[in-house]
Structure 1
Amino acid sequence: MFRNILIPTDGSPLATLAVDTGIAFAKEVGAKITVFTVTEPFHLVSLDAEQLSSTRTQYEALSELHAAETLAAARTRAEAAGVPCVTDQASTHEVYREIIRKAEDIGADLIIMASHGRGGVGALIIGSVTTKVLTHSTIPVLIYRK
């Protein structure tokens, strides 16, 4: 049923667990995966601690390094499990739209992603990428929550 799975990740511990779960699921069903990360461009005004303490150049370099390390680690784990894996990254202010666009571009039939479960003011200020993907995607979404 599922043969082409997109697994977006931000490299957080919970998202890493979702990637590992996605790899195990893909192995069970014989699917290939694309692990995808989206970095947000530098904001002059931000609530992100990394952006508040960095210059644009520093932030962009750290974001690229973090994305590359996150994708390399996921690729290594997928290869060890025998799951065909492609990795990709993008940068945009609208992370959820880029995740949906990527899923459509690769013909994904499932998106597996983590939900950090932010509630209250955090959800109002930051919003939930996962909620937005669920709301706007026509592709099935499997949410990993610990």
Structure 2
Amino acid sequence: MYKTILVATDGSALSDLAVTQAVELAAALHARLVLVTASEPFHLLSTEAEQIADTEDIYRRTMQQRADRILGAAAEKAAASGVPAVTVHVENDHPFEAIIATAERQLCDLIIMASHGRRGFSALVLGSQTTKVLTHSTIPVLVVRAEATPAERGAAA
């Protein structure tokens, strides 16, 4: 079945859920994980607060520290379950492209990502990296949604 699984994480609670499920799946399948997080490159002209306030060196150091923290936590989960994992930090203006490219380079046969499951106009306006990966990747994508409460599951029926 799946031997190399990429899981993208941004350190949010929802992506942590995706990491947890990816670790459990990888453990069950005796697969290895590729843990990836993406950062936007530094831009001289930007509306991002971090880039306006920082020099390029400070911004890069801050983004690397953030990536190390996010990937370190994910790698600890994998190690605790005996799942072999590698970590990858990529810079790209379009994270979905970096995620797909990393999955291809690492010969992944499954990508796991989280999604809020927005629909309709909000999905169109907000877009999501998960939606972009789904529409551009030739590698299968498993989407992890926020866990619904029993009341929410009943309302969806």
TM-score tier, shorter chain, comes to: 0.7 to 0.9
Identity percentage over the alignment? 45
Alpha-carbon RMSD across the aligned residues, in angstroms, is 2.0
Give a deviation string over 1:30-73, Cα, whole Å, max 9, x none. 11101011101134333x45445555444332211110011111
Q: Distance in 2 between matches of 1:35 and 1:117?
A: 22
Q: Which amino acid aligns with 1:144?
A: V
Report which stretch shifted further, 65-74 or 36-45: 36-45
- Within 5 Å, which residues of 2 pair with 1:5-84? 5-43=5-43, 44-46=45-47, 48=48, 50-51=50-51, 54-84=54-84
Q: Distance in 2 between matches of 1:136 and 1:14?
A: 22
What is the TM-score normalised by the length of structure 1?
Answer: 0.87
Equivalent position of 2:89 in the other structure: 89
Report which stretch shifted further, 108-117 or 57-66: 57-66
Equivalent position of 2:127 in the other structure: 127
Give a deviation string over 1:1-49, Cα, whole Å, max 9, x none. 1111001111111111111110011111111101011101134333x45
Instruction: Classify 1:51/1:14 alpha carbon distance in 2 versus 1 (closer, same or farther; 3 Å).
Output: farther
- Measured after TM superposition, the shift of residue 75 of structure 1 is 1.0
Q: Distance in 1 between matches of 2:36 and 2:4?
A: 13
* Larger Rg computed on CA atoms: 2
- Measured after TM superposition, the shift of residue 83 of structure 1 is 0.5
Q: Which amino acid aligns with 2:25?
A: F
SS in structure 1 opposite 2:41? coil
Q: Distance in 2 between matches of 1:42 and 1:30?
A: 38
Task: Show structure 1 runs of 5+ residues with no match.
Answer: none
Task: Show structure 2 runs of 5+ residues with no match.
Answer: 147-157
Contact 1:39–1:63 (Cα < 8 Å) also in 2:
yes
Give a deviation string over 1:63-95, Cα, whole Å, max 9, x none. 111100111111111011010111111111011
The answer to whether 1:99 aligns with 2:99 is yes
Equivalent position of 2:150 in the other structure: none
The answer to whether 1:4 aligns with 2:4 is yes
Equivalent position of 1:145 in the other structure: 145
Contact 1:118–1:128 (Cα < 8 Å) also in 2:
no
